[in-house]
């Protein structure tokens, strides 16, 4: 049962090919570019910088703001530009997923801005966005407890599988994206969409955790590559 | 148990050591383990682990010298952008005492100034002043922006790097601790200096950089490489980790020794160039990172006494630095 081959030829616990590059933008404080399967995501980080929005300012710590945006040409049919219900949600959950890892106590009254631009989308962009954003945050020199990493698992054809593609996401029965801090295994994001039994849900989380650990290694590699080869 | 070596490149969340060490800057303690919170190079000394970041934002510190740009002119002060998450203010009385003058006739929006951080309040707003050698407005020249953590590398041991650039390009260079560098000279030389500074920033964590910069400078100005023994060093394009460590350690030691000299000179030399001031102070900060040799400790103690006797406003800040230096060593 477990050696079933998926639509795109992957095994049930196989990730799509991933490419991560840190520090790709000249003008941003930190940046990262990430490809997972057909996803192409660019993240820019600015800050910590002076908070220009008074009401967001915290007197004892810094704050993080995220903006997730999909390019109009990122999907099959043209996406109407601008924020919508979905991207507002992802912006919020991304900020929430990253916040526990950040140590902004030394930068009170400041703000860190994270801009996630999806250039091409092929399923699993929120996890890919989180993965890329944390690489960009490290590149920006923001103090962090750990490098947050995101990965999804789901249920397709009554089988729990790792890292859903767009087709699997649409035709599958469930999607469970999670984000974790790999050193401690703390979960910072957990969503679930679709029907899963308790057993399947547990299996999906375990699988996604495993996937996160693999992606985490790639994140570290990307960061080390940026600075050690010169 | 320590899992890393001095000068290792680490990333946030990486476990550096078990309980027996003291967590320093750039690290945090969790479940009895010391972890890095930054991407940077490990500094291990006397069982104290620190991580020196590759990139960071400038956080104002009392006594620093910075380069700032006037952002706004208000009723009794100027708002100054000091390339930091926190803005600086320059109160009018710091400039002309109790006299009332029109502020925008003295400094206007867009002027670039060389300033000293007098005080940092609890919300990290920096109060700035102009007391000190060479403080004031810059006329002409260009501003080059680098990461504040790369400032010590740009200056080099005993100011070797910056002096080499100055001598070769005939430019005036002032380095602020907030990562802004002011360069004035001939236009083509300004551009060359900017290029060189950016090169130093990009390759600050590699070895043999001084020679590389030297070669580039000679090539750009004289059209040929220097005839000295630099050839050998230059072959070492891919830095070997081990050499790198030794070199940096060596550098640190020398810097610590050099610092003591520089300090002494500073006391006798009253009239000096602005540039040297900036270097001195930066080196001093570097030195806090430097080795804790027993004889050095004595030297510093002596210096501290001297400084205390001399109630000069100009050196009141260095007094302060020395204090923190001693604290660091204990």
Is pLDDT at A55 greater than 60 in this prediction? Answer: yes
Name which residue leads in pLDDT, A57 or A45.
Answer: A45
CATH architecture of A18-228: 2-Layer Sandwich (3.30)
Q: How far is B27 from chain A (nearest CA, A)?
A: 9
Residues B28, B30, B32, B33: is their CA dihedral positive or negative? negative
Contact B57 A49 (CB under 8 A): yes
Mean pLDDT of A120-148: 96
Name which residue leads in pLDDT, A189 or B330.
Answer: A189
Mean pLDDT of A184-197: 94
Give the pLDDT of chain B (330 residues) as one tens digit per residue: 888 888 889 999 999 998 788 889 999 998 889 999 999 999 888 888 999 998 889 999 999 999 999 999 988 889 999 999 998 999 988 888 777 778 888 889 999 999 999 999 887 889 999 988 888 899 989 999 998 988 988 988 888 899 999 988 899 999 999 999 999 999 999 999 999 999 998 888 777 888 888 888 888 888 777 665 444 444 444 444 445 555 566 666 666 666 555 444 444 343 444 444 444 444 444 444 444 445 566 666 666 666 655 544 443 343 444 333 434 443
Contact B37 A49 (CB under 8 A): no
Query: B57: which chain A residues are within 8 Å (Cβ-Cβ)?
Result: 29, 47-49, 107, 141
Q: How far is A65 from chain B (nearest CA, A)?
A: 15
pLDDT at B257 (0 to 100): 62
Name which residue leads in pLDDT, B296 or A136.
Answer: A136
pLDDT at A209 (0 to 100): 96
pLDDT at B301 (0 to 100): 64
Which residue among A50, A144, A147 sits closest to B85, beta carbon to beta carbon? A50
* Nearest Cα residue in chain B from A112: B85
Please indicate if any CB of chain B lies within 8 Å of the CB of A113: no
Is pLDDT at A194 greater than 90 in this prediction? Answer: yes
Contacts of B217 (CB under 8 A, 6+ apart): B164, B165, B168, B169, B192, B196
Contact B11 A223 (CB under 8 A): yes
Is pLDDT at A130 greater than 70 in this prediction? Answer: yes
Residue with tokens 């570290």: A220
Query: A101: which chain B residues are within 8 Å (Cβ-Cβ)?
Result: 12-13
Please indicate if any CB of chain A lies within 8 Å of the CB of B11: yes
Mean pLDDT of A91-100: 96
Is pLDDT at A177 greater than 50 in this prediction? Answer: yes
Name which residue leads in pLDDT, A116 or B31.
Answer: A116
Contact A103 B57 (CB under 8 A): no
pLDDT at A54 (0 to 100): 86
| Average pLDDT, rounded, for chain A | 93
The number of helix segments (H) and strand segments (E) in chain B equals: 11, 16
pLDDT at A106 (0 to 100): 87
First CA to last CA distance, chain A: 47
Query: What is the C-alpha to C-alpha distance for residues B199 and B196, in angstroms, rounded to an integer?
Result: 5
Is pLDDT at A132 greater than 60 in this prediction? Answer: yes
Question: Which of these, A163, A173, A164, A166, lies nearest to A195 by C-alpha position?
Answer: A173
Could you tell me the domains of chain B?
Answer: 9-53 (2.40.50.100), 65-137 (2.40.50.140), 142-239 (3.30.1370.10), 256-329 (no CATH)
Beta bridge partners of A156: A159
Which residue among A29, A106, A147 sits closest to B11, beta carbon to beta carbon? A147
Please indicate if any CB of chain A lies within 8 Å of the CB of B140: no
* Nearest Cα residue in chain A from B59: A107
Name which residue leads in pLDDT, A146 or B20.
Answer: A146
Please indicate if any CB of chain B lies within 8 Å of the CB of A23: no
Residue with tokens 């996803």: A39
- B18 and B1 Cβ atoms separated by less than 8 Å: yes
Contact B26 A143 (CB under 8 A): yes
pLDDT at B231 (0 to 100): 44
pLDDT at B321 (0 to 100): 40
Contact B11 A138 (CB under 8 A): yes
Contact A183 B205 (CB under 8 A): no
Q: What is the per-residue burial (b if ≥16 Cβ within 10 Å, else e) of B292-316?
A: beeebeebbeebbeebeeeeeeebb
Name which residue leads in pLDDT, B104 or A67.
Answer: A67
Is pLDDT at A118 greater than 90 in this prediction? Answer: yes
Please indicate if any CB of chain A lies within 8 Å of the CB of B82: no
User: What is the domain partition of chain A in residue ranges?
Assistant: 18-228
Q: How far is A137 from chain B (nearest CA, A)?
A: 10
pLDDT at B314 (0 to 100): 43
pLDDT at B230 (0 to 100): 46
Contact A47 B57 (CB under 8 A): yes
pLDDT at B308 (0 to 100): 59
Please indicate if any CB of chain B lies within 8 Å of the CB of A158: no
């Amino acid at each position: 049962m477990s050696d079933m081959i998926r639509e795109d030829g992957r095994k049930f616990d196989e990730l799509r090919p991933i490419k991560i590059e840190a520090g790709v933008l000249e003008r941003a404080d930190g940046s990262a570019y990430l490809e997972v399967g057909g996803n192409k995501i660019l993240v820019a980080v600015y800050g910590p910088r002076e908070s220009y929005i008074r009401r967001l300012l915290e007197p004892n710590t810094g704050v993080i703001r995220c903006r997730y945006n999909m390019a109009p040409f990122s999907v099959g049919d043209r996406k109407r530009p601008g924020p919508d219900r979905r991207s507002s949600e992802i912006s919020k959950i991304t900020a929430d997923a990253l916040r526990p890892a950040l140590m902004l106590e030394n930068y009170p009254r400041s703000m860190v801005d994270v801009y996630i631009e999806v250039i091409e989308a092929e399923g699993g962009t929120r996890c890919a966005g989180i993965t890329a954003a944390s690489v960009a945050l490290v590149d920006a020199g923001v103090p962090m407890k750990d490098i947050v990493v995101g990965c999804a698992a789901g249920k397709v054809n009554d089988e729990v599988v790792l890292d859903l593609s767009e087709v699997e996401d649409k035709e599958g029965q469930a999607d469970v994206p999670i984000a974790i801090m790999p050193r401690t295994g703390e979960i910072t994001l957990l969503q679930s969409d679709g029907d899963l039994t308790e057993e399947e849900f547990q299996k999906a989380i375990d699988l996604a955790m495993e996937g996160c650990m693999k992606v985490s290694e790639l994140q570290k590699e990307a960061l080390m590559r940026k600075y050690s080869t010169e | 148990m320590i899992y890393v070596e001095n000068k290792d490149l680490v990333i946030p969340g990486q476990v550096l050591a078990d309980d027996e060490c003291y967590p320093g800057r750039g690290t945090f303690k969790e479940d009895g383990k010391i972890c890095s919170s930054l991407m940077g190079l490990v500094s291990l000394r006397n069982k104290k682990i620190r991580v020196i970041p590759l990139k960071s934002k400038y956080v104002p510190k009392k006594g620093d010298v910075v380069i700032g740009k006037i952002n706004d002119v208000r009723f009794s002060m100027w708002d100054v952008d000091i390339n930091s998450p926190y803005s600086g203010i320059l109160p009018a009385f710091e400039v002309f005492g109790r006299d009332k003058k029109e502020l925008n006739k003295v400094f206007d929006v867009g002027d670039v100034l060389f300033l000293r951080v007098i005080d940092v309040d609890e919300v990290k707003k920096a109060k700035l002043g102009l007391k000190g050698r060479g403080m004031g407005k810059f006329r002409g020249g260009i501003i080059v922006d680098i990461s504040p953590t790369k400032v010590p590398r740009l200056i080099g041991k005993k100011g070797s790097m910056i002096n080499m650039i100055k001598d070769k390009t005939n430019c005036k260079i002032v380095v602020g601790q907030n990562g802004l560098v002011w360069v004035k000279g001939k236009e083509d030389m300004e551009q060359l200096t900017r290029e060189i500074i950016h090169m130093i920033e990009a390759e600050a964590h590699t070895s043999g950089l001084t020679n590389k910069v030297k070669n580039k400078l000679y090539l750009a100005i004289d059209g040929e490489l220097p005839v000295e023994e630099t050839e050998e060093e230059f072959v070492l394009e891919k830095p070997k980790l081990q050499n790198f460590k030794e070199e940096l350690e060596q550098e640190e030691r020398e810097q610590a020794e050099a610092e003591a000299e520089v300090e002494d000179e500073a006391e006798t030399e009253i009239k000096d160039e602005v540039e040297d001031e900036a270097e001195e102070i930066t080196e001093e900060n570097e030195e806090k990172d430097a080795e804790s040799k027993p004889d050095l400790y004595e030297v510093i103690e002596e210096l501290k006494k001297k400084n205390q006797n001399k109630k000069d406003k100009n050196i009141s800040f260095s007094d302060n630095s020395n204090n923190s230096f001693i604290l660091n060593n204990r």
